[in-house]
Amino acid sequence: MLRILILAVLIWWGGRFLGLPRNLRITLLAVLFTAVLAVQLTLPDGHPLREGTGGSAASWLLLGGFALVAGFYARIVAALKNRAQPQEVKMNQPASTFTESELDRYARHIVLRELGGPGQKKLKKAKVLVIGAGGLGAPALQYLAAAGVGTIGVIDDDVVDNANLQRQVIHQDADIGKPKVFSAQAAMQAQNPYVEVRPYNRRLTEEVAAELFAEYDLILDGTDNFETRYLANRTAVALGKPLISGALSQWEGQLSVFHPAEDGPCYQCIFPEAPAAGLAPSCSEAGVIGPLPGVVGSMMAVEAVKQITGAGAVLRGEMLIYDGLYGETRKIRLSRRAGCPACSGKAES
């Protein structure tokens, strides 16, 4: 019997030393106990194997019963401890505090001199609305969620299509046919359960724009049509909200931060009117290299983090242009346009 007990100790403590999971070690002990009990119950009295394992089933049954009682007692104690300790309740947690898991998750932000703990708190308190869950919206949403932006809204009326998956990496093959906002929400919450995602499965229209924008601190425009871009710009200007806008074409992308309330130009200052039909073909018409939206959308997320935290200098009054085909970037200066119908008279006084 002593040999069996020594073997059991080796399984438990030796397995722990080797890193075996607790459940696996318990299973191995149960197999050993069952084998010994089978020997005691099936072999005749006086058999060498039976004598070598204790000679009687009674002692093993007594030992097994004691182990069961001890196990149940340990589970009850653990359950009582869990009930007595405060649980991490994400939705009720103050925006100014972090759980241990969050502190570990955002550690690489917190050690950045330009962000630190105060910057991460600003991100957690921030509310950002992303228009479009497609090419630009997909990477922007992923990195905003990963960065710990507390509340992220996403508005889009489209569904995931097979042709989207070449570049819209927030969606999966299994999501084909699903509304993009719900597919994006699932991916974001799977990546970071500490953020709140608000999906709006509808098109942005004049009727809802002002009320929706008023709930958020910052707007990201990742749309692919000029009608929505001009609407987003007008609404953001009227409410004094900063607007981060990006655009793509084949191998080239561009982005800027439009914020007339901080003496910068608005989108319509730079693009007074939509181009004539055919002069600005869509991605489906002209094509787009798959990783390009990831580059520009991630840059939009960087600008959002800077805008929220005050780190560095945002692209206000500047446009960054990225040429993926030749690996070049350049910046051009942007100025307000006198008489702009969207932002004339909207400069900060």
Span 271-328, pLDDT tens digits: 998 877 666 666 666 789 999 999 999 999 999 999 999 999 999 999 999 999 999 9
User: Are the CB atoms for 117 and 107 separated by under 8 Å?
Assistant: no
| pLDDT tier at 73, thresholds 50, 70, 90 | confident
Contacts of residue 3, Cβ cutoff 8 Å, sequence gap at least 6: 52, 53
Identify whether the C-beta of residue 249 lies closer than 8 Å to the C-beta of residue 224: no
- Mean pLDDT lowest among 5-14, 123-132, 159-168, 300-309: 5-14
Rounded-to-integer distance, Cα 107 and Cα 123, Å? 14
Give the three-class secondary structure for 93: coil
pLDDT over 80 at 238, yes or no = yes
DSSP assignments along 13-56, one per residue: IIHHHTT--HHHHHHHHHHHHHHHHHHHHHSPTT-HHHHHTTS-
Question: What are the distances in angstroms from CA 177 to CA 136, 158, 201?
Answer: 19, 9, 13
pLDDT score, position 50: 65
β-pairing, 196-200 vs 318-323, is unpaired
211 pLDDT more than 80: yes
**Please, are residues 88 and 94 in contact by the beta-carbon 8 Å criterion?**
no
Least confident among 80-84, 124-128, 301-305: 80-84
Least confident of 44-53, 209-218, 282-291: 44-53
d(CA 149, CA 219): 13
| Kind of pairing between the strands at 151-155 and 127-131 | parallel
Taken in order of first residue, the domains within the chain and their CATH numbers are 2-84 (no CATH), 100-333 (3.40.50.720)
Task: Evaluate if residue 139 carries a pLDDT over 90.
Answer: yes
> Which run of H or E residues covers position 330?
strand 328-333
| Whether residue 77 has pLDDT greater than 70 | no
Q: Which residues of 153-164 are buried (b: 16+ CB within 10 A; e: fewer)?
A: bbbbeebbeeeb
| DSSP at 175 | G
Q: Where are the alpha helices (DSSP H) in the chain?
A: 2-9, 15-17, 22-42, 48-52, 57-84, 100-105, 107-110, 116-125, 137-147, 180-191, 206-213, 226-239, 267-270, 283-286, 292-309
Q: Please give the angle made by the CA atoms of 32, 34 and 36, to the nearest 5 degrees.
A: 70
Residue count of the chain? 349
